[in-house]
């Protein structure tokens, strides 16, 4: 049974619970990004410089809840694409982290 995910961050949130082989596409250049999560850590990331912009659905600074708003959450293959995308982005401000940093933040909190 394949695991269906909504966005790049969802691959990783799902990866905290089970092993996942995820694919996403850079919203700026449409390049494929491959992300495998095993035992709660990132096993494979291509390209290795991929960055995640995410907006949490947790209430403010309450770190007891964690989840992402997929409409504002994207995985980018490189920083240049993130910058280009941000220039036209009108949504809520999010955080930019590496996929590994995201996993660490997400695993320390409860999903909302």
Q: Which of 5, 9, 26, 42 binds Zn ion (CB under 5 A)?
A: 26
Closest to Zn ion by CB, 66 or 74: 74
Closest to Zn ion by CB, 31 or 34: 31
Q: Does 32 bind Zn ion (CB under 5 A)?
A: no
Q: What is the DSSP string of 49-80?
A: T-EEEE-B-S-TT-TTEE-B-GGG-EEESSHH
Q: Is 23 exposed, middle or buried (0-12, 13-18, 19+ CB in 10 A)?
A: middle
Phi/psi for 93 (5° steps) reads -65, 135
Task: Look at residue 23 and give its three-state secondary structure.
Answer: strand
Q: Does 29 bind Zn ion (CB under 5 A)?
A: yes
Contact mark string toward Zn ion, 57..96, x via CB under 5 A: --------------------x---x---------------
Tell the smallest beta-carbon distance from residue 28 to Zn ion (Å).
Answer: 4
Sites of contact with Zn ion (CB under 5 A): 26, 28-29, 31, 77, 81
């Amino acid at each position: 049974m394949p695991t269906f995910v909504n966005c790049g961050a969802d691959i990783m949130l799902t990866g905290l619970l089970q092993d996942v082989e995820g694919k996403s596409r850079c919203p700026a250049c449409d390049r494929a990004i491959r992300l495998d999560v095993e035992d709660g850590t990132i096993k494979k990331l291509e390209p290795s410089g991929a960055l995640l912009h995410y907006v949490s659905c947790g209430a403010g600074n309450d770190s007891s809840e964690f989840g992402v708003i997929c409409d504002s959450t994207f995985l980018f293959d490189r920083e240049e694409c993130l910058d280009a995308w941000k220039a036209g982005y009108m949504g809520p401000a999010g955080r930019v982290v590496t996929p590994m940093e995201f996993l660490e933040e997400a695993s320390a909190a409860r999903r909302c």
